[in-house]
Chains A and B, each alone.
Chain A
């Protein structure tokens, strides 16, 4: 049996701001992982990545990152993606800061 496919989100960095962004089901980009499209099919994931990369004029380095379904949308499964969606641990900067200012 082939190994079960781990669900994915597509993530990248914004060209101008440099911050972390995620690809949504309607082909836009969001700064919140919870609003990202969770892709559960391997073939579909590759197609969605190609779709996302069509917007390379505005984004940098799109890739598929492991994720899982949570009560409020996709959640990270690895600590690297947890840091990317939160910010550094030594200062209250990055996304955690942006969210606090909403």
Chain B
């Protein structure tokens, strides 16, 4: 894991001291809100419906146990005892007070965490595959590149006033767990002729105009990463629209100008910029890479795991859903669900955070990950430790066996917290999870991703959900539109709307009807919801959702 050097520490301390002074000047009246707002946003401080909100970056989703304990400390000391993990590998605190925010940032700084550029029209937290450095199917750990991008983009003077926010995601695997095709820039580490480089995707995004990213470069040599990214951003700064906020994201720039024009201009800029890089960035990258060396995985029998798996059905159910193949023999990646049925997706209490930190320290080589799917991961676990881990998780409400299932729902904060929201998302997620838990169907249903956004900005990734739900305000009443067939992986697709929306009390029954159609139509238990949808299309689902409309046609 990356460890701050003296420069990083001094930079962050100075930045936090600046913000402390800015807060004081706002309180004593020297700064107006108009002057203060951009300053607080640069440091992750929003004002939401009921209170301030602090959004802390978890770079490439990686935490060490002490960092997790500090997140717990913030929750306990300055908030209401919990934190909310988001779809962009951030954690949000919903109840801080203005005077406490500088202290919170200082506490974060002590463990190498910050809230810089978690808001505003800048390059945001670079997200990564949450199984990075651990997955069996990975080519190489993408996190050193993400750290390089973090250092390059933090306070970069040219990119502090972009036309709009800019999000980068990176994966080192061909199985995309980082939704790289729905980011402004998506990077996939690839290999060509024995050399490491990147496939560069540009112009993806969700929000009011969802688009799947397009390939800008099939292969970019490793050494060209920063000059090329700088070229992409430079072209965006020139071509990107600043006249209309809703047309300002790079997806619109690429789509209005065409990918070929965008590519030609990027390559031209690249020719000029490339020479400005003298190799210092590559030296830095080599140094960063030393921080990300894999732990020395131990070699041991897996008898305790095998016995628990054979004899304990509860453990077996958890192992079947929450484990993923690790690259080291005898090891597994364990996902801890923070989506117990009926709970708020992505929320963890201070106590739960400490339990997970302790488990990481004791069993997981000191590493934790946060996924964009709002769960926590122990990326490196020897299988023989899993029964003990599971036993501890059970006593803290963390052993829910639902990863990838219908109750593993992504939900944005929605109207319960967010000033931009047009409807609630959290209670809808809670009710769907509770309902399918009561039906005892979810393991039978299998892999099915529901994602819920409480407004058109799509923080809940509803466009790329198998079943997407979008909450809107229709004449002063909450109304929910459904999309089907979205896909957040390497076969990314935007879902298709079923038709008219549903009232708040109709949305759970509507989801149930969709699932009933799938269960009746699937050709075997192995055919997933998405596969069935792709085979049979929208019509059978529409017929079940809108029986009245069908009658009229008949």
Contact = CB atoms under 8 A, between A and B. Distances in A.
A60 B49 contact: no
Contact of A56 (B33, B80, B97, B476): B33
A12 to B, nearest CB: 10
10 contacts: A13-B47, A17-B97, A18-B47, A57-B29, A60-B33, A77-B476, A79-B476, A79-B478, A88-B50, A91-B344
Contacts of B94: 88, 93
Most buried by B among A56, A88, A93: A88
Interface of A: 13, 15-20, 56-57, 60-61, 77-80, 83-84, 87-91, 93-95
Interface in B396-433: 415-417, 424, 426-427, 430
Contacts of B415: 79-80, 83
A16 B99 contact: yes
Given A16-B99, A18-B98, A83 B49 contact: yes
Given A18-B96, A60-B33, A83-B49, 10 more contacts: A13-B47, A18-B51, A20-B50, A60-B47, A79-B415, A89-B426, A91-B80, A93-B95, A94-B51, A95-B50
A55 to B, nearest CB: 11
Given A56-B33, A60-B33, A77-B476, A89 B416 contact: yes
Contacts of A15: 26-27, 98
B309 interface: no
Nearest to B30: A57
Interface residues of B, number: 30
A16 B97 contact: yes
B32 interface: yes
Interface in B1-56: 26-27, 29, 32-33, 47-52
Contacts of B33: 56, 60-61
A76 to B, nearest CB: 10
A75 to B, nearest CB: 14
A13 B26 CA distance: 14
A15 B52 CA distance: 9
Contacts of B27: 15-16
Nearest to A84: B49
B344 A19 contact: no
Top 6 A-B pairs ranked by shortest CB distance?
A88-B416, A18-B51, A18-B52, A57-B29, A94-B50, A90-B426
Interface string B468-489: 0000010011100000000000
A88 B32 CA distance: 29
B255 to A, nearest CB: 32
B344 A90 contact: yes
Contacts of B97: 16-18
A74 to B, nearest CB: 17
A56 B473 CA distance: 30
A56 B26 CA distance: 10
Nearest to B52: A18
B419 to A, nearest CB: 9
Nearest to A66: B476
B136 to A, nearest CB: 37
Interface of B: 26-27, 29, 32-33, 47-52, 80, 94-99, 344, 415-417, 424, 426-427, 430, 473, 476-478
Contacts of A94: 50-51
A82 B229 CA distance: 45
B49 A61 contact: no
Given A56-B33, A57-B29, A89 B476 contact: no
Nearest to B430: A90
Nearest to B98: A16
Contacts of B26: 15
B59 to A, nearest CB: 27
A13 B476 CA distance: 22
A22 to B, nearest CB: 14
A19 B51 contact: yes
A21 to B, nearest CB: 11
Nearest to A88: B416
Contacts of B29: 57
A19 B49 CA distance: 8
B31 to A, nearest CB: 10
Contacts of B477: 79
B476 A19 contact: no
A16 to B, nearest CB: 5
Contacts of A57: 29
Nearest to B49: A84
Nearest to B476: A78
A61 B427 contact: no
B352 to A, nearest CB: 15
Given A61-B33, A89-B426, A83 B99 contact: no
B475 to A, nearest CB: 10
Contacts of A87: 50
Contacts of A56: 32-33
A44 B33 CA distance: 25
A78 B475 CA distance: 9
Nearest to B426: A90
Contacts of B427: 89-90
A78 B424 CA distance: 13
Contacts of B98: 15-18
A56 B320 CA distance: 56
A91 B416 CA distance: 9
A83 B97 CA distance: 20
A17 B96 CA distance: 8
A89 B94 CA distance: 14
Nearest to A85: B50
Contacts of B478: 79
A89 B424 contact: yes
A102 to B, nearest CB: 17
B345 to A, nearest CB: 10
A88 B94 CA distance: 11
B344 A93 contact: no
A83 B51 contact: no
A96 to B, nearest CB: 10
